[in-house]
Amino acid sequence: MKPLSRKNFIKGVALGTISLPFVIRSCGADNFAQQSSSPNVITNKKYQWKMVTTWPPNFPVLGEGCNLFAEWVKEMSGGRLEIKVYGGGELVPPLQAFDAVRSGAADIGSGAAYYWAGKAPASQFFASVPFGMNAQQLNAWIISGGGIELWKELYGQYNLVPMLGGNTGVQMGGWFNKEINSIADLKGLKMRIPGLGGKVLEKAGGSPVLLAGGEIYTGLERGIIDATEWIGPYHDHKMGFYQIAKYYYSPGWHETGTALEFFMNKERYEKLPKDLQAILQTAAMRLNIWMLSEFEAKNTIYLAKLINEEKVDIRFYPEEVLTQLREFTEQSISDITSADPFSKKVYESYDKFRKQAGDWSKLTEKAFYNNIQI
């Protein structure tokens, strides 16, 4: 048989007159097998992962989001990567999720980075900074402003890979059983408040208490805490805080747009095929948008319920209280960055971006709220 010229070979493949088996034989079986085993070729190997979370099982938005994430990963991977989601306490206690994933007892976790401030002080800057950036600004810093590189560098020290996993948007200021008329009203107050907000409360003379979400109602009911912050109207209504606390304060100075996270065991993540790594990244980004949208939609509905049905007394922190809390925030950040070089490195990046974003928002967001929105 006369050998085909390169031109006629390509023409035959295009027209379908040359079959796939002929192409394979022509290319050589060894060469074809070598190409099939390359790292980017999709195989049928299946992976079973365990996710631990800081949220109660199937918790509205937060736990539901983890379930959605697992569904999306399974769907996009054609069932090659399945993730079993365990709510806080089902596999490990909620606030042990970080160590469980780090050690390999679980493959992936969901939480908020400020929960790990005792292990890695710089972590809290990737969740929320009092009087800091809102959700869209924080997303911009992490995704496009250098934040994710710093976050990966930090978590890499703990055998973890971080990814954005949602955002609450601006939160409410908290539930109290007494009025807050001056900074003195915070002295001696036991309040559930995590991260940098807790450090600020300490400087105001209060006592921050770190409780997982599923423990807050009982803590407030039994007097373990005197006050609590959580997220916003939707969750706060569902958790029944209006039944055991009298005053609902705004604004959420301590959490102006809190980023949530996925953290994955670095060794397990890096052993995945590249396409499955990309699927995890894509699902996390999808959840980041879904969660912020879900909170924004639900909070508008449940704010009306709290006001009209439950007759909740909504208050605003006095300006002098906010001014003093802002000063305590600056002191708290200084304490952390002076004691931990990596925190200093992260905060310098955060603060530079915050100032630039603030200049832009004065011409856009602030002008919108002050002059356009009714």
pLDDT digits (tens, 9 = 90+) for 159-216: 999 999 999 999 999 999 999 999 999 999 999 998 899 999 999 999 999 888 888 9
Measured between alpha carbons, how far is residue 145 from residues 103, 122, 137, 140, 151 in Å? 30, 17, 10, 6, 12
Q: From the CB of residue 314, how many other CB atoms can be counted at a distance below 10 Å?
A: 14
Residue 25: per-residue pLDDT: 45
Band (pLDDT 50/70/90 cuts) for residue 27 is: very low
Token look-up 């407030």 returns 220
* Mean pLDDT across 123-134: 97
* Mean pLDDT across 354-363: 95
* Mean pLDDT across 314-339: 98
3-state helix, strand, coil in the chain (%, to 5): 55, 15, 30
Q: Which of 303, 287, 278, 276 is nearest to 63 (CA)?
A: 287
**Six token digits for residue 65:** 């989001």
Domains of the chain: 47-374 (3.40.190.170)
Q: Is residue 97 pLDDT above 80, yes or no?
A: yes
Classified as helix, coil or strand, 247 is strand
Listed range (30-39, 233-242, 270-279, 360-369) with the worst mean pLDDT: 30-39
Q: Is residue 269 pLDDT above 90, yes or no?
A: yes
Band (pLDDT 50/70/90 cuts) for residue 17 is: low
* Mean pLDDT across 296-317: 97
Residue 11: per-residue pLDDT: 52
Token look-up 């499955």 returns 276
- End-to-end distance of the chain based on CA atoms, in angstroms? 82
Side-chain-facing half-sphere of 97: CA atoms under 13 Å? 29
Residue 32: per-residue pLDDT: 35
Rounded mean pLDDT of the chain?
A: 90
| CA 217/CA 22 separation, integer angstroms | 70
Residue 102: per-residue pLDDT: 98
Q: Which of 321, 327, 331 is nearest to 184 (CA)?
A: 321
Token look-up 């569904």 returns 71
Dihedrals φ, ψ of 258, to 5°? Answer: -85, 125
Token look-up 């006050």 returns 227
Q: What pLDDT digit, counting tens, does each position of 61-77 carry?
A: 999 999 999 999 999 99
Token look-up 């195989």 returns 43
Classified as helix, coil or strand, 306 is helix
**Six token digits for residue 243:** 């039944």
Residue 22: per-residue pLDDT: 45
